[in-house]
Amino acid sequence: MFKVVVDPDICIGDEECVEVCPVDVFQLQNGRAFPYQAGECLGCGSCIEVCEPVAITVTEE
Ligand code: SF4
C-alpha cells in the first residue's frame, strides 16, 4: 500500500498527474489535484516526476 499526498498550497492544478497516473489516482477538485483513489497507487513515481512544483509525495505504508 502507498500513501499519496498532494499539498494543496503547492499544487497549481496543471493536471499533469491526472494525465500520467496509470491507475487514475488523481482527480481535479476545486482547481487542485486530489488523490481520490489513493488505494489504487502502484508506487511507480510517475506523478512525482511530472509535478514541476513538487506538490506530491508517495510513501510506502
Ligand atoms: S506513484 Fe504512479 S500509480 Fe501512484 S499515484 Fe503516482 S502516478 Fe499514480
Question: What is the CATH number for 15?
Answer: 3.30.70.20
**Which residues constitute the domain of residue 15?**
2-60
* 9 Cα: distance to centroid of ligand 1 (angstroms): 20
Question: Distance (Å, rounded) from C-alpha 3 to C-alpha 38?
Answer: 7
**Closest to 32 measured CA to CA, from 46, 59, 53:** 53
Q: If you measure from the C-alpha of residue 29 to the centroid of ligand 1, how many angstroms do you get, rounded to a whole number?
A: 17
The whole-number pLDDT of residue 1 equals 95
Q: Which residues of 11-50 are buried (b: 16+ CB within 10 A; e: fewer)?
A: beeeebbbeebeeebbeeeeebbbbeebeebeeeebbeeb
Segment 4-60, tens digit of pLDDT: 999 999 999 999 999 999 999 999 999 999 999 999 999 999 999 999 999 999 999
Looking at the structure of the chain, the number of domains it has is 1
